[in-house]
Amino acid sequence: MAEKKENRYVTLLLTLVLSMAVGAVFMMIVGYHPLEAYIQLFKGAFVGKVNLGTTLQKFVPILLTGVGFSIAAKVGCFNAGIEGELYLGAIAAAWAGHYLHGIPAPLHLVICFMTAAAAGALWAAIPAILKVRWKVNEICVCILATYVAKYLTSWQRTYECKDGNPSDTQCFGGGHACQNHAAKPGQYRTVCGPSAGCGGNMADIQVHAGI
């Protein structure tokens, strides 16, 4: 078992080194210095609060969906609906961040995560029940359900969260949980306001999910 784990780490390391080597070759072909490029790549991802925050913003949803997929794979299930679960979990977390008040911030954050997990689990239960009860192919159901989840989230995001000017919208009943401010036409960024009680974290999942 220990030898197998060591081989896995060696494989991961070799994959990383080989991919960087291939990238370096292409950079040299087009006239760039590979070492300087990789240094700037590292700085752009990890140096500075904004850079690190942006990296985490993009990384965390991928990490969570990857963990969710791997757990299902361990028991022999192919969870093709993980994207839809992420979307509905994001909306559920933002809802909990806005509507639940009078809770200490650390506990509030945990509740937001638990609400998101519960929403995703309930959505995943649909293909699971259909598979167990009526032998319906779970992959087809998951893929089709993902579209439903995305459109539900888009509807919530576009219409239910709208309060007048679409370039300056407030979500969930005109509160301050998540506000969209258009820096440029068609480009929105979501920020979590004071009443969300989540320190600018949970409502931002909407942006993470690509909404």
Determine the 3-state secondary structure of 27 from DSSP: helix
Q: Rounded to an integer, what distance in angstroms lies between the CA atom of residue 142 and that of residue 127? A: 6
pLDDT for the residue numbered 177 = 42
Q: Which residue has the tokens 């440029």?
A: 184
DSSP states of 92-110: HHHHHHHH--S--HHHHHH
Question: DSSP character for 196?
Answer: G
pLDDT for the residue numbered 166 = 47
Q: In tens digits, what is the pLDDT along the chain, a chain of 211 residues?
A: 666 667 888 888 999 999 999 999 999 999 999 999 999 999 999 999 999 999 999 998 899 899 989 988 888 888 899 999 999 999 999 899 988 989 999 999 999 999 999 999 999 999 999 999 999 998 999 999 999 999 999 988 887 666 544 444 445 544 444 444 444 444 434 433 333 333 333 334 443 434 3
